[in-house]
Amino acid sequence: MSYTPRSADAYAYDPALPPTNVPIMSGATAFDCPQTGNTFILIINEALYYRNRLDHSLINPNQVQSFGIPLWDNPFDERRHVGIESKKIFIALKAIKGTKLLFDSRAPTEQELATCLHVDMTSKVPWNPGTVQLGKVSAAHKDTEDHVDNPRSNEAELRQFDPIMQGMNEWRTVQTAMADGERFLQQMAQTGNE
């Protein structure tokens, strides 16, 4: 739906492999609800865009949860079904590839983008995993009635996004990361001298 001027380095589990620089974007995927038969457009803001390098979409569960949408991903919890529980829709997750939880979605058509209900799954605020406090929901999202918009509102809000503020947030993130790195190196140097 729209690109940001930012990208992120995505690291593999093997530290010997170099990071991959991946663009950050707001994207949409169509979910056909088996309970209602309705198609919902799930909006994933601040998502990593792998283009055609993957045959599936990736959604960060922590990013969804920090937006105030419950995501139950513990298959051993007997009290809840695994799934994503928006106020308007429940998306059942299924484990069909080992321990990976999945749900079926597809690329939406232009008509679906224009007419189907849009559900924001993640915040439009720049996502920085290094500043996330697990277990805490952003106050900006905690008391919202719902994260559902009409099809045109997301596009309007994205067009109004101020690129200067975006740059300031990126600069702050870089400065914070540099300060954290310097503190880490100082601690390592002190540990080495002991």
Query: Who wins on pLDDT, 146 or 44?
Result: 44
Q: Which two tokens stand for residue 51?
A: 């283009």
Residue 123 has pLDDT above 60, yes or no: yes
**Cα distance between residue 84 and residue 70, in whole Å:** 6
**pTM exceeds 0.75:** no
Kindly tell me if the per-residue pLDDT of 114 is higher than 90.
yes
- Is 121 a residue whose pLDDT tops 60? yes
Most trustworthy range by pLDDT among 6-10, 25-29, 126-130: 25-29
84: amino acid identity, one letter: I
Confidence of residue 26 (pLDDT cuts 50, 70, 90): very high
Please, is 170 exposed, middle or buried when counting C-beta atoms within 10 Å of its C-beta (0-12, 13-18, 19+)? middle
CA atoms within 13 A on the CB side of 119: 23
Backbone angles phi, psi at 26, to 5 degrees: -105, 125
pLDDT at 120 (0 to 100): 93
Backbone angles phi, psi at 168, to 5 degrees: -65, -40
pLDDT of residue 66 exceeding 70, the answer is yes
CA distance 115 to 24: 25
